[in-house]
Structure 1
């Protein structure tokens, strides 16, 4: 099961929080989901080169707050914050609501799966060899402290007639272990030969809760030595 489903969705509520944080009335559910989609699609398209790793949407009764986590926040903020004001106005025109925007820096850009996937896709669009692009991302993640990384590319690689899938794995990526903190990212490279899909899984270690901690302590406890029995003469 862990090999098939999205690893982020599988771990929601265990070691991963939701990116849309609101509790709507039943009548507003579809409208809110549609607004979230529009906000994310607009920001991803407009701020692609800022290196966006996460877009968090929070709602209260009267307010809507959008938090953008980016590797290069300076591109979004602009000179004296002028670009943020323009972005806020464009978002308000898009969804017809008052919006507050917060910009946060992604401090560990090398260990962000979404940024890694977008990096590979950008390199493929520049006609860099796919194996070289994959290895470069793997090295960057290892330097950032990742315990494991898997990169997969699918499509007409190198302009081949037949589409295929190739992947590299360094370290370990335990997809079935729910307490494993695994980040996942997907991006598409639009090349002259067609679209190439890029998927990245990054294992950042295990997040232990009380039950898991007790189990770990029990497993790590020193084994009791068996009592020796005296032999008869």
Structure 2
């Protein structure tokens, strides 16, 4: 009834890759997972204005590689790479007393209008500046159309315009097939903090279908490429159409008692007259005269 699963988590391992890529023993898994959370939280809060789309983390031995995808990477790198050193110090402070060997890479997001997370954050910032939510949604839809996306859907929920009762409004351009696994759908969520309360912003962007070759490469870590999208073949029947030995399987469920279903075992099924006889009145059999009487000819 209208509840939507997270589109990215729904497609992880099929058309989307994991944002944290590492292996760890069971005793260390929760510690490394919490470190990933602290790394993302520290970078996102401190460099929010840089337009960070996502943060990927890779681990190998004691080396941690952090890949930051940002719309304005210059704010993170700084002059002569001084910003990278600042990012390293901030992460080491958050992970104290652990100090892993960090490798920071910053990648540029070339088209922010097609990134769902950046679109959601842009709308949230406009709502905090008291811009009308309908105007912010229309502008985002128009920019996405100019960027040649296949479809985009935007939803805002909260006390829109300072209303007493919270409500939800949404708008869509194109098609957004959420239940199609091969569809490349990006999802983003942001929160606008206004004087009336918080307003949630959700954005879905449909960029087209992913070719089967790319899906095979992504699934190669789980299954072999040859068997990733093959259906198991049905077992061949014996030659000549002969059935294998064994008890014959009766179709259908158990027989039911009742009208037309027969009684106990051994009794005929159907009406009492048996098959082959018409329904209705039975034919009268000739009467046999009692002993000692002569039949009267009519």
Tell me the CA shift for residue 3 of structure 1: 5.5
Residue aligned with 1:87, SS: helix
Q: Which has the higher contact order (CA 8 A, sep 6+)?
A: 1
Tell me the CA shift for residue 86 of structure 1: 1.2
Work out whether 1:68 is the aligned partner of 2:68: yes
Which residue of structure 2 aligns with residue 158 of structure 1? 161
Tell me the CA shift for residue 2 of structure 1: 9.6
Residue aligned with 2:13, SS: coil
Tell me the CA shift for residue 133 of structure 1: 0.4
Residue aligned with 2:154, SS: strand
Work out whether 1:82 is the aligned partner of 2:82: yes
Q: 1:25 to 1:187 in 2, by over 3 A?
A: same
Instruction: Give 1:57-136 correspondences, 5 Å limit.
Output: 57-95=57-95, 96-97=98-99, 98-136=101-139
Which residue of structure 1 aligns with residue 225 of structure 2? none
Segments of structure 2 that go 5 or more residues without pairing to the other structure are: 217-298
Residue aligned with 2:136, SS: helix
Which residue of structure 2 aligns with residue 147 of structure 1? 150
Q: Distance in 1 between matches of 2:214 and 2:121?
A: 36
Q: 1:73 to 1:211 in 2, by over 3 A?
A: closer
The TM-score with structure 1 as length reference comes to 0.88
Segments of structure 1 that go 5 or more residues without pairing to the other structure are: 214-233
Tell me the CA shift for residue 14 of structure 1: 1.0
Q: 1:127 to 1:20 in 2, by over 3 A?
A: same
The TM-score with structure 2 as length reference comes to 0.69
The answer (yes or no) to whether the contact 1:2–1:176 under 8 Å persists in 2 is no
Richer in strand (by share):
1
Residue aligned with 2:184, SS: strand
Residue aligned with 2:68, SS: strand
For 1:137-163, what per-residue CA distance to the aligned partner results, in whole angstroms no more than 9, with x for missing partners? 111111222110000000000000000
Give me the CA root mean square deviation. 1.8
For 1:170-200, what per-residue CA distance to the aligned partner results, in whole angstroms no more than 9, with x for missing partners? 0000000000000000000000000000000
Q: Distance in 2 between matches of 1:144 and 1:23?
A: 38
Richer in helix (by share):
1
Tell me the CA shift for residue 90 of structure 1: 1.4
Q: 1:120 to 1:35 in 2, by over 3 A?
A: same
Runs ≥4 residues deviating over 2 A: 210-213
Which residue of structure 2 aligns with residue 55 of structure 1? 55
Q: Distance in 2 between matches of 1:210 and 1:103?
A: 28
Which residue of structure 2 aligns with residue 34 of structure 1? 34
Work out whether 1:137 is the aligned partner of 2:137: no
The answer (yes or no) to whether the contact 2:151–2:207 under 8 Å persists in 1 is yes
Q: Distance in 2 between matches of 1:211 and 1:155?
A: 39
The answer (yes or no) to whether the contact 1:138–1:149 under 8 Å persists in 2 is yes
Computing the radius of gyration from Cα coordinates, the structure with the larger value is 2
Q: Distance in 1 between matches of 2:32 and 2:2?
A: 29
Question: How many pairs are equivalent?
Answer: 213
Q: Distance in 1 between matches of 2:109 and 2:162?
A: 34
